[in-house]
Structure 1
Amino acid sequence: MSALLDPAERTARGARLQAELGGATTEPATPVEASWRDYIYAEIWSRPALDLRARFLIAMSSAATAGDAAATETYVRGALAGDLISLAELREAALHVAVYSGWSSGGILDAAVTRVADAMGLAAAVFAPIRAEPWDATARHEVGAASFKEHMLFGGPPPKTAYFEGGILNFVFGEMWNRAGLDERSRRWLTLVGVGFSGASTPIRSHVWSAMASGNASRAEMEEFVLQYAVHAGWPRGSVMQGAVLEQAARVEKNLPFEA
């Protein structure tokens, strides 16, 4: 028979992690507040299957996409204070969130970064312009198509509609995914949050497959991602994402290509 777990120990662990990671340190006044300490921090953030940098990226983008400015700011503060994500990387993260969760959500994250950076007295982060040099429109389509294949590991759409031409090829893969300010693994987490909230089957399945097929995330990390993501997305969206992870992990393990 296994030993019983001690609720007092869980509370102590949750309070410690909540304080260390940037959350509240006051005694909870409601069941929801208590659940942040005794479940979210004590039992999710303490799990070893995913690194803290990844958890912060998932949490802050999920909170911003859910419209929770206060939680977004808490995560930004924790990431900066813990030296886990730089200010310049956070600015790039906000741009990535804007693409996959909408510019309003990206704006919530960007504003939270500004508030925290100002409060900490940080100098403004230098960022590369969206595009500094003139370009040829046809060449940008070609760059976007090549970038799509590089990051997604399968061929992308032809520029036959405004969405594909002006969005996916021109900007998303023609420019944003190629920016040097944020590594590919980090961009994966932000993308997965955005497509997860969308509920759109093909983007969810394709990006889940690409995250694992690229080696950016293992099956165990993807399964842990689902739990961290569900905190702000909710368990029903988490269930959809979990199904996609199980389905696409089986394909990756058999070396099967993505199938729409």
Structure 2
Amino acid sequence: MSSDLAKSIGRELPYLRRYARALTGNQTAGDNYAAATLEAILADRNLIDGNDVRVGLYRTFHAIWQSSGQPIAEADDNNRARQVQSHLAGLTPNSREALLLRTIEELRYDQIAEIMGLPQDEAEELVQIALNEMGRAIRGKVMIIEDETIIAMDLKGIVQAMGHEVTGVARTHSAAIELAGERRPDLILADIQLADGSSGVDAVNELLVSMGELPVIFITAFPERLLTGDRPEPAFLISKPYSEEQVRSAVSQAMFFASSQGIEAA
């Protein structure tokens, strides 16, 4: 493998891992799929087109994903695994993959079509189907950790328009802990840099220790700080500036993987 190609793959790998984690709902499972993708490329360099390394990576990943037939990782709680599988089984095939590629990875429809081996109009239709199917499947309580008032209000409006309840908005680490203590959320939307210089990551980690497993979506202008591979990374990560479609997609996906924690299907 040439040095230039290796560098190109290295630049794209954190984002492939992000996609894999969002798809599986699990960091370990997602990273295993990403590793299998790299192994396949090392075995057959022709899988990567020199003109578009990113598309080649995702196309190889998609082929492995489809052949494995494993929509989520094995869970410690088999009841949880079965429940999530049941929800996912009700979705149109390939729709969730198309949605993530479009909204989280921000690929063009022609790129998604090439990755998935579909006509472009079908790729576009799958994204809309997924938004509709996932958006009406689960309802829950969402807490927002965000210090910028305009962004916080925008996120609140998007989440409420989806039919979820917003438990409140916290601007600092301490406010987040207090808010979560008043009412347990089903999902947390969090920035990583807060008003008083405190860390949204630290606030979330503290909440996870005290409250147990909760789905978290980080929305940040500094995604590279959470895509290092050196620490536990979030399954859902959106870059600022974000689009409403990205937020809707991530919230819907995250709610699916929290469906065993008392969130009711609509």
What TM-score comes out, normalization by structure 1 length?
0.34
Higher share of residues assigned helix: 1
What TM-score comes out, normalization by structure 2 length?
0.33
Q: Which has the larger radius of gyration?
A: 1
